[in-house]
Amino acid sequence: MAAIIKKAWEGYQIIFEEFPDPRTKDLPLIAKPYQGILLLTLYLMFVFKWGPNFMKNRPAYNLDRIIIVYNAFQVFACAYLFTNALYFAWLWDYKWICEPVDYTINDKAIKITRFVYYYFLLKVVDLLDTVFFILRKKINQVTFLHVYHHTGMVMLIWGAATYFPGGHGTLVGVINTFVHVVMYSYYLITVWDPSLKGNLWWKKYITQLQILQFLWMVVHMSIIVFKTDCEYPRWTSAIFLPQNVFMLILFIDFYIKTYIKKPKVQMKVEETTKKDSSTNGKSHLS
């Protein structure tokens, strides 16, 4: 038993002490799996048990002011990371196919590792979306897709920030931050002026943009599977690809149910209602 514990501890030291990037290893939450596990455990416990039980006999909280500040912060933070990622990497420096991680200690490489870390922290902040839903008693919005997406992103980006803070995989964050600028701008406008919620035509296209996002991520991470001389670790696609394919399927399913099937059902109900009212009117006149 002592030998097993010793081997397990040696394995832990290798995976979480030797393998992590030394430039990010000592940052809060990075390379410390127990911290991330505790964070996500608390999140899931609040989502599925503590939060609903706490709100069971309470009225919904009015969090409009908090959410306005939160959405404005998200727009600013995502725009900051998006523009910096383009400027320091993806506009003219990074290769679109198999960009390796720059492990050197220079100002540019350090900046990129910090941007990856900030992006990870932003995924942690994203967990507040679910907290707000529960405190506002919008439980119908706490779907499997929503919770799975937020939990999975924290786990994946934790791995990227711990082991590969730069290179090919960072395009995932570039695409995602752009999508979030659009998405949180929509949320900010509709919370600021609720009367616009049903009038903004671009809500449907935000979901289309999210679908395009995951499709692009699938293509991007598939490249390193087929390019045998890739300088970026090819095995990472075994983690990122299933996640992104699954998310793509879930978002397509959501889009079909929300924007294709639901309107058809509503149209049928309206047609039936019109026919019934017309028949009743004729019956009344006769």
| Tens-digit pLDDT profile for residues 78-117 | 999 999 999 999 998 899 888 999 999 899 999 999 999 9
**Residue 286 — very low, low, confident or very high, per pLDDT cuts 50/70/90?**
very low
CB 250 within 8 A of CB 150: no
Which sequence positions are flagged as catalytic? 149
pLDDT score at 282:
45
Question: pLDDT value at position 11?
Answer: 79
- pLDDT score at 15: 87
CA count, 13 A, side-chain hemisphere, 47: 20
Q: Bigger pLDDT: 235 or 4?
A: 235
H-helix or E-strand containing 109?
helix 107-125
The whole-chain average pLDDT of the chain stands at 88
In the block, which residue shows the tokens 């390796």? 100
Q: How far apart are CA 16 and CA 9, in angstroms?
A: 10
Q: What's the alpha-carbon Rg for the chain, to the nearest Å?
A: 23
Question: What does the alpha-carbon distance between residue 80 and residue 78 come to, in Å, rounded to a whole number?
Answer: 5
In this structure, how many other beta carbons lie within 10 angstroms of the beta carbon of residue 16?
16
Supply the DSSP string of 219-239, one letter for each residue: HHHHHHHH-TT-SS-GGGHHH
